Amino acid sequence: MKGGRQAIGVFDSGIGGLTVVKALMEDLPSESIVYFGDTARVPYGTKSKTTIVKFSLENVEFLLRYGVKCIVIACNTSSSWALPTLRKYFKVPIIGVIRPGALAAVRQTRNKRIGVIGTTATINSRAYEMAIQRLDPRIKVFSHSCPLFVPLVEEGWLNGDICRTIAQRYLQPLVRQRIDTLILGCTHYPLLTKTIQEVVGPSVALVDSGRQTAAEVRGVLLGTDILSDGQAHPRYRFFVTDEPTQFNRIGHRFLGYAIGSVERVNGH
């Protein structure tokens, strides 16, 4: 079963996709992973659709050099804008983070009022809204972009006054809409779970799209019979397009342990 030994390819605009890698490592502990973070061109969340699609195509091409058996777009912005194009150009199974997150939220909501937070590009794409309404057209979706959350996470300001004040400003309008479920539509946001939960209150369920995506990957690998047989020791490789020091420094916060070796790619 040759396909079983190949790695899962994961890409993100930067470091946030490591929350998806963490979920994959926990759910699929015998799978090898090749991670590509386009740190030189981060953030994607403020860029145009054309640019996001172009960068995403290049990222998939890079991962395919390592013979990956499937690709996870661990970036909500790329998943929002580039997924249909990527599926058209490449034969390898490609999994985005939008549909798994939308599906989990639809299953979770009781009052059919779902909130979505993400980058400006993700929110403008209305990708979550469309995915949710395809699953259940009766659901009302309320979206809000939270551009300051990413720099807060990268600074390590995960709680405290500044973080709470910003979270209140972003989330209060959603709370007023009486949402009972909130999709964390950016891979950085799970690190702010504690603060977000405090602001929205205990009655609002938080959906981490990355965690849901790991379950979807398992299903895809099983369905195509390329799940690892668990005989070989899994290998993890990390590539970035800019100076690896920052990635290494912050990365352990996302993964829960020190990354070790990070390889820099020039002009991928």
The full set of domain ranges for the chain reads 2-97+211-264, 98-209
pLDDT-based confidence at 4, cuts 50/70/90? confident
75 is catalytic: yes
Q: What is the pLDDT of residues 16-67, one digit of tens each?
A: 999 999 999 999 999 999 999 999 998 898 899 999 999 999 999 999 999 9
pTM: 0.92
DSSP string of 149-204, one letter each residue? HHHHHHHT--SSHHHHHHHHHHHHHHHHTT-SEEEEESTTGGGGHHHHHHHH-TTS
Mean pLDDT of the chain: 93
On the question of a common fold for 2-97+211-264 and 98-209, the answer reads: yes
Measured between its terminal Cα atoms, the distance across the chain in Å is 30
For the record, the structure tokens of 149 come out as 């959350």
Architecture of domain 2-97+211-264: 3-Layer(aba) Sandwich (3.40)
Nearest to 240 by CA among 7, 22, 35: 35
The reported pLDDT for the residue numbered 1 is 41
Q: Determine which one of 70, 75, 146, 163 is catalytic.
A: 75
Architecture of domain 98-209: 3-Layer(aba) Sandwich (3.40)
Q: What is the pLDDT of residues 170-219, one digit of tens each?
A: 999 999 999 999 999 999 999 999 999 999 999 999 999 989 999 999 99
Q: Determine which one of 70, 146, 163, 186 is catalytic.
A: 186
Q: What is the pLDDT of residues 95-152, one digit of tens each?
A: 999 999 999 999 999 999 999 999 999 999 999 999 999 999 999 999 999 999 998 9
Find where tokens 């995403």 sit: 56
Asked if 7 and 69 touch (Cβ cutoff 8 Å), the reply is: yes
More confident residue, 5 or 10: 10
Asked if 69 and 6 touch (Cβ cutoff 8 Å), the reply is: yes
